[in-house]
Amino acid sequence: MVEAIVTRAAVLDEIGGDLVVEELELAAPGKGEVRVRLEASGICHSDWNAVSGLAPSPLPAVLGHEGAGVVEALGEGVTSVSEGDVVVLSWLPTCGRCRRCLEGRLSLCEEATTHMGGELPGGGIRLSRRGQPIHHYSYLSTFARHAVVAERSCIVLPPSTDLDVAALVGCAVMTGIGAVINRAKVTPGSTLAVFGAGGVGLSAIMGARLAGAETIIAVDPVESKRALAISLGATVALDSNEPDLCQALLDHSRGGLDYAFEASGMTRNTELAFAATRPGGMIVAIGIPAGTATVSLPGPELVRAEKIVTGTLYGSSRPALDMPMLLRLHAAGRLPLERLVSRRYPLEDVNVGFADMQKGEVARGVLRPWDDGAGGTVAGA
């Protein structure tokens, strides 16, 4: 019989507060659930949105939604994973039954996208502190040494998988590359721009290179990120603070972009992307703006230019198929995903990781929950 355990996790008690690493009780996995020993967790801007209150989440909570690790224990009825399996976690555990799933639009699963209320998909909370419940975040809560998650959140990987990279594939990489290959279906020889060169935007750039785009323009205010974008496949890098950025985009794209990807969540970039895209082109919104944000587009051109304006959630992905595929491409040397890992942190330094992210110093920071922190922050490869 599987028993409850004590684990260490980073808890957010109030909006705007620091995360505090402490011991929590973690109940045994219930029906259709498993317990995972987490080996790596990416630090994502979506987690920061919960800290800042931009995207409120039930508190107190253990944040984190990019994770990879090893299955430790199984709940009743689990058949698709076994103890000892290496897994990457999907924060969108699709039901496979709703209309969107049956249509093949798994990222729009009606059950998964409408029940993110701090509980697991089957209902209930498995985390507690001195008998008081601690909410889950995005069904996962990966800022911890262990997590109880739904069986359908687990995607089995080869034992040799780089788990730092796998954790990022669990959200940032899948979202960025998926936007290019799944939602936009970028064609060889095309011209495109990516606004925002964080983990998601850089992944989109790698996806564009994989798809055979000819001109790939990275737009970001941070010089080091622009340089990294060039090294990962961008052919041009522009400062987003450039006075006449729209004209620069038109010049580099020979009169207009075929595709534009907005990965920063800034609505002015979506409006700029629309202006710089050719008639018949596509604008794909990836980054999620503040809850009250609106985008203003010129009505006549919206009709006459036949531009396609769309969004993408989780890279419009099929996680169980797409994530292993991306990791196979990485293992084959065709996707340099390890370059996204700028720094690694012990769990106790989670607030340092957020600070580095806010300062634009990292493409992606990765928490290593079992690192004792003796060596401090470790630079990535």
Coil, strand, or helix at residue 182? Answer: helix
Pick the CATH number of 171-315 from 3.40.50.720, 3.50.50.60, 3.90.1420.10, 3.30.70.1350: 3.40.50.720
- Tokens linked to 358: 């806010």
Write out the E strands in 140-223: 146-150, 154-157, 191-195, 215-219
| Location of each CATH 3.40.50.720 domain in the chain | 171-315
Using CA atoms in the order 129, 131, 135, 141, what is the torsion angle rounded to 10 degrees? 50
Q: Does domain 5-161+336-379 have CATH number 3.90.180.10?
A: yes
CA distance 133 to 167: 26
pLDDT above 70 as % of the chain: 98
Contacts of 258 (CB under 8 A, 6+ apart): 186, 187, 190, 191, 192, 277, 278, 281, 282
pLDDT in tens, 74-110: 999 999 999 999 999 999 999 999 999 999 999 999 9
pLDDT band at 373 (very low <50, low <70, confident <90, very high): low
Burial class of residue 89 in the structure, from the number of CB atoms within 10 Å of its CB (0-12 exposed, 13-18 middle, 19+ buried): buried
pLDDT in tens, 223-278: 999 999 999 999 999 999 999 999 999 999 999 999 999 999 999 999 999 999 99
Contacts of 329 (CB under 8 A, 6+ apart): 210, 335
CA distance 180 to 204: 6
- Tokens linked to 8: 């260490």
- Entry pTM: 0.94
- Is residue 381 predicted with pLDDT exceeding 60? no
pLDDT in tens, 204-225: 999 999 999 999 999 999 999 9
| Location of each CATH 3.90.180.10 domain in the chain | 5-161+336-379
